[in-house]
């Protein structure tokens, strides 16, 4: 994806941001074979507690011993490849039209403050106004102690001009051994949103260089770590 980003002197450019894949170096195994996740049907239709109560009454232990009505031999134990979510009402009947969704806002005291129709939040990382430096530098060693990093993206150049632009940013941050807090919006105070109705993130820009090469990482966090009071 493309993002519009500025530097310390408010010069800006549109560059490329890609996700960094994580590789699991350890494979769970049993007896030398990889462990895989499987889903199986645990109960069939009309074999749940509520169904058995309707059929046999509250005390149906004798029926369980004599005839095993809770076991659907044709269904239980079958593997499942995929599932589909079905919305149901309080009586257990399927809904054929999606219910109206409300967004409930709670205050710090836990009481409901407002109930409203959810608003669509547009992405803001590739707008006319670029992502800005807030001026808040955080030592790299403190970043992981103060924020939970949810995701990291690599910022890459699109041409020779943006290569020099990003290399200079990476070098400046590396020399300060710090990450820069980024923000979006005209006032430079809004969190970063990468897709419609996506999670808003704080962005922390980290730079590294090796000769003519550079590595520019955008760390994303939506959780600040604080000691309990």
What is the CATH classification number for the domain harbouring 195? 2.40.290.10
CB atoms within 10 A of CB 45: 8
Which residue range(s) make up the domain with 71?
A: 40-80
CB atoms within 10 A of CB 5: 28
CA atoms within 13 A of residue 91's CA, in its CB half-sphere: 3
Mean pLDDT, residues 55-77: 81
Residue with tokens 């009586």: 91
Our count of domains for the chain comes to: 2
Do 7 and 54 fall into the same domain?
Answer: no
Do 15 and 126 fall into the same domain?
Answer: yes
Do 161 and 76 fall into the same domain?
Answer: no
Entry field: residues in the chain: 229
Domain-located, residue 132:
yes
Q: Is the pLDDT of residue 24 over 70?
A: no
- Strand residue runs (E) in 48-196: 79-80, 103-106, 112-116, 132-139, 147-156, 178-183
Do 173 and 62 fall into the same domain?
Answer: no
Read off the pLDDT of residues 126-182 as tens digits, 9 standing for 90 and up.
999 999 999 999 999 999 899 999 999 999 999 999 999 999 999 999 999 999 999
């Amino acid at each position: 994806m493309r993002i519009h980003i500025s530097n310390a002197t408010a010069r800006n450019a549109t560059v490329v941001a890609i996700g960094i894949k994580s590789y699991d170096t350890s494979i769970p195994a049993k007896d030398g074979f990889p462990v895989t996740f499987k889903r199986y049907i645990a109960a069939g239709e009309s074999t749940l507690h509520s169904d058995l109560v309707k059929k046999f009454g509250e005390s149906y232990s004798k029926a369980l011993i004599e005839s095993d009505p809770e076991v659907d031999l044709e269904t239980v134990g079958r593997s499942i490849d995929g599932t589909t979510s079905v919305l149901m009402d309080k009586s257990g009947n399927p809904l054929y039209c999606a219910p109206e969704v409300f967004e409930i806002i709670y205050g710090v005291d836990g009481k409901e403050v407002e109930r409203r129709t959810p608003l669509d939040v547009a992405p803001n990382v590739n707008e006319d106004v670029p992502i800005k430096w807030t001026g808040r530098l955080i030592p790299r060693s403190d970043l992981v102690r103060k924020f939970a990093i949810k995701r990291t993206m690599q910022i890459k150049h699109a041409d020779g001009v943006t290569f020099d632009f990003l290399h200079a940013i990476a070098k400046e941050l590396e020399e300060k051994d710090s990450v820069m807090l980024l923000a979006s919006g005209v006032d430079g105070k809004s969190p970063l949103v990468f897709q419609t109705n996506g999670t808003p993130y704080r962005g922390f820009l980290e730079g590294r260089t090796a000769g003519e090469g550079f590595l520019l990482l955008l760390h994303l966090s939506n959780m600040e770590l604080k000691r309990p009071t």
